[in-house]
Chains A and B, each alone.
Chain A
Amino acid sequence: NSKVIQTPRYLVKGQGQKAKMRCIPEKGHPVVFWYQQNKNNEFKFLINFQNQEVLQQIDMTEKRFSAECPSNSPCSLEIQSSEAGDSALYLCASSLPQQDTQYFGPGTRLLVL
């Protein structure tokens, strides 16, 4: 179904540590999204890119996360200083630039102790 690759699948960090996860979008998909799904199954949009440019991001992402999608390298999302409330499943998705299906990776499950 989806060819989006996310690594690592699981990540355990202590509070205050950096937490970095990566995503390789489907080949030919210039639009990349990051979402956070919490333990209550609620999804939160974090940021999206078209090629290397940020399209939209929420305040939390701007203040506490570092994200990029360099050309010819995986996209990455990094929490600068992890908090317990950041424990969640982080999902990367990619799509074509027009109205189109978003294809999701398997996610990185982050646990902040």
Chain B
Amino acid sequence: GDQVEQSPSALSLHEGTSSALRCNFTTTTRSVQWFRQNSRGSLINLFYLASGTKENGRLKSAFDSKELYSTLHIRDAQLEDSGTYFCAAEAITGGYKVVFGSGTRLLVSP
């Protein structure tokens, strides 16, 4: 079965509002990465977490390896935050490959 369940699939925010994306993992996960993919297809690294939380500007991410989930919080959304967000989980089976979530298409409007 799918290892990574990402929600929501789509999200619309007004500028200045906040929200959160979530990924649930069905198997033990060594680490999680979050990316934003722009319209040209480029994947921009947002976070890498092996545990705990990280914050970068208006973005904050958390990874709970015991409860098998990760979140990405977007605070004070801006137009340039629009894009498709993906989480990617590395299983403990080794080999370093990651399994991607299905993505969250975020649209921030004025």
Contact = CB atoms under 8 A, between A and B. Distances in A.
Chain B binding surface, main DSSP class:
strand
Contact of A100 (B40, B43, B48): B48
Contacts of A42: 100, 102
Interface stretch (A11-19, A62-70, A75-83, A103-111): A103-111
Interface residues of B, number: 24
A37 B104 CA distance: 15
Contact of B41 (A95, A101, A107): A107
B50 A99 contact: yes
Interface stretch (B14-22, B28-36, B62-70): B28-36
Interface string B70-110: 00000000000000101010100001111110110000000
Interface range for A: 20 to 34
29 contacts: A2-B44, A2-B45, A33-B97, A35-B100, A42-B100, A42-B102, A43-B88, A43-B99, A45-B97, A45-B99, A48-B96, A48-B97, A55-B95, A55-B97, A56-B97, A91-B43, A97-B96, A99-B90, A101-B33, A101-B45, A101-B48, A102-B88, A102-B98, A104-B42, A104-B45, A106-B41, A107-B41, A107-B42, A109-B41
Interface of A: 1-2, 31, 33, 35, 37, 41-43, 45, 48, 55-56, 89, 91, 95, 97, 99-104, 106-107, 109
Interface of B: 30-31, 33, 35, 40-45, 48, 50, 84, 86, 88, 90, 95-100, 102-103
